[in-house]
A = this chain, B = another copy of it.
Amino acid sequence: MVGGGFAGLWAVRALKSAPVRITLVDRGNHHLFQPLLYQVATAGLSAPDIAAPLRQILRRQKNVVVRMATVSTIDADAKTLELDCDGGNETLAFDYLLLATGATHAYFGNERWAAHAPGLKTLDDALDLRRKLLLAFERAESETDPDARDAWLSFGIIGGGPTGVELAGTLAEIARHTLQGEFRNIDPSRARVRLIEAGPRVLASFPEDLSEKARKQLERLGVEVSTGTPVKDITADGYRLGETFVPAKTIVWAAGVSASPLGECLGVPLDKAGRVPVEPDLTVPGHPDIFVAGDLATLKQANGKPVPGVAPAAKQMGKHVAKAIRARLKGVGIAPFRYRDFGNLATIGRMAAVVDLGAWKFSGIVAWWFWLLAHLFFLIGFRNRSVVLLNWSVAYWTHQRAARIILGGDDTRC
């Protein structure tokens, strides 16, 4: 099993009492609850609140060895893979392989934008972004030139999907409420938070009426929402929206992901986002013992739409792979993978969210409470849940954010 995210970890757990020896390889030491990553980036939670060590989660499951390592190559025919280790490489042989290394941000060929508009996929990304957001206000405070000051108070969030919407809504709340009264030279509530979506509406995976509600809720929180115009360029000083250059010192990329590069090792054709098109049983075409699951896989459902790149889909895929391996060991077959869609939710900011459960659609405060309870419920581990709940309660009542600490040493100046 390569990757300790939702797909990999759920597959491992579903093989709990199976007669197999599992090696779980991950480049980090922790499982990350990615849906709350934006809360770390916006200083609401600290990194350990949304992550748990894989070893700790799996310590009672005796058929698992956890290895913190990167996979450098896979030989699909010889059924081996190579771990990149400090003291030299190491080869692992496998009977079955699950590749579930997820996705990373993609700049669609504009890789130089990466330096000015970082994305948000790992805890390190989130901490870098937190630092960048908090420092922008510090820089604005000590800047004497009014234009430069405005540029420090101008934030561009590129991409109107759930991550972009969450970041924009929370950032507007920070500027308007959290930082209120703390600065002497600037008024943080004058900060300009702009959410930029190239397509016609935000939250495109939701029904149209919920997209419209999300836009209204964002605007109420103080976010400028721009749709229908793509970003043409990004520099250290701002972004070009159509023909207009908007000065902005802080730009965040939430616009696109591509699959982890590990898919390339398999030697099969990939889709244009680098994902592995899998068979209905989640195996790689021509390699019936290699499974791919989660954001690294792409599979069309019966209705013609692809399985979405969301946490519940990854968990379901992981469990399906475990079931398939159990069945193979017994020499029986199982039905192909079918995604069960329990609904779609996105939070926007303080007391604002949208929920689409198919038959039921709602937005606003009720949706926000629903989102909050659902996320608390799915967060792994007792301790994380209670700390997160506590931080959220305090944040809710005081508008404060628990993790407003700038880390990162020597260049923390002014």
Q: A56-B182, A407-B123 are in contact. Are A386 and B390 (CB under 8 A)?
A: yes
Residues in A lying within 8 Å of B, measured CB to CB: 27-30, 43, 46-49, 51, 53, 55-56, 58-60, 65-70, 83-87, 90, 122-124, 127, 134, 138-139, 141-145, 148, 179-185, 382-383, 386-387, 390-391, 394, 398, 400, 402-409, 412-414
Q: Which 3 A-B pairs have the closest CB atoms?
A: A48-B403, A55-B182, A46-B46
Residues of B within 8 A of A60 (CB): 181
Residues of B within 8 A of A28 (CB): 406, 412
Residues of B within 8 A of A65 (CB): 184-185
Contact call A406/B29, Cβ cutoff below 8 A: yes
CA distance A407 to B128 in the complex (A): 11
18 residue pairs bridging A and B, Cβ less than 8 Å apart: A29-B404, A29-B406, A47-B403, A48-B402, A53-B182, A55-B183, A56-B404, A58-B182, A65-B184, A66-B182, A67-B414, A84-B413, A85-B414, A86-B413, A87-B414, A90-B142, A124-B409, A387-B387
Contact call A139/B86, Cβ cutoff below 8 A: yes
CA distance A390 to B185 in the complex (A): 38
Residues of B within 8 A of A383 (CB): 390-391, 394, 398, 400, 402
Residues of B within 8 A of A414 (CB): 67-69, 83-87
Q: A382-B394, A390-B387 are in contact. Are A413 and B46 (CB under 8 A)?
A: no
Residues of B within 8 A of A141 (CB): 67-68
Contact call B142/A67, Cβ cutoff below 8 A: yes
Give chain B nearest CB distance to A212 CB in angstroms. 36
Pick from B27, B47, B66, B122: contact of A413, CB under 8 Å: B27
Contact call B138/A405, Cβ cutoff below 8 A: no
CA distance A351 to B326 in the complex (A): 46
Give chain B nearest CB distance to A63 CB in angstroms. 10
Residue of B nearest to A87 (CB): B143
CA distance A181 to B83 in the complex (A): 23
Contact call A29/B413, Cβ cutoff below 8 A: no
Residues of B within 8 A of A84 (CB): 413-414
Pick from B46, B53, B405: contact of A30, CB under 8 Å: B405
Q: A85-B413, A402-B383, A402-B387 are in contact. Are A408 and B68 (CB under 8 A)?
A: no
20 new A-B contacts at CB < 8 Å, known A67-B142, A382-B394, A386-B394: A28-B412, A29-B134, A46-B47, A46-B49, A46-B403, A47-B403, A48-B404, A51-B405, A53-B405, A55-B182, A59-B180, A65-B185, A68-B141, A68-B142, A83-B414, A85-B414, A87-B144, A87-B414, A123-B405, A387-B390
Give chain B nearest CB distance to A123 CB in angstroms. 6
CA distance A406 to B181 in the complex (A): 35
CA distance A395 to B139 in the complex (A): 39
